[in-house]
Amino acid sequence: MKISAEIVYLLCTVTSAVCTVLLLRGYRRSRSRLLMWSAICFACLFLNNVLLFVDVIVFTTVNLSVWRLVPAAVGVALLCYGFIEEEA
């Protein structure tokens, strides 16, 4: 069970990193600000996934749940800000 959890956490981390890179490449090409905000959000989600892996797999005795939720909340807040700014 633990090996499958590690694989899922690592795959989520890799997926968010790949999404970040692809969104940044798209932003560089088109200069669409919405792509920039999405890339920043996925970078924060990547950090969230890294902290999740560290919290659950590496340091099992330490509770990092608050610290790993902060990047996710910041990323979603920045994406919402980008949506609002893009609409205005």
pLDDT in tens, the chain (88 residues): 578 889 999 999 999 999 999 999 999 999 999 999 999 999 999 999 999 999 998 988 888 889 999 999 999 999 999 999 988 6
Q: Domain of residue 41: give its range.
A: 2-87
How many domains are there within the chain? 1
Q: Give the whole-angstrom CA distance, residue 57 versus residue 77.
A: 27
pTM above 0.75, yes or no: yes
Among 1, 75, 15, CA closest to 45 = 75
Q: Where are the beta strands (DSSP E) in 1-88?
A: none
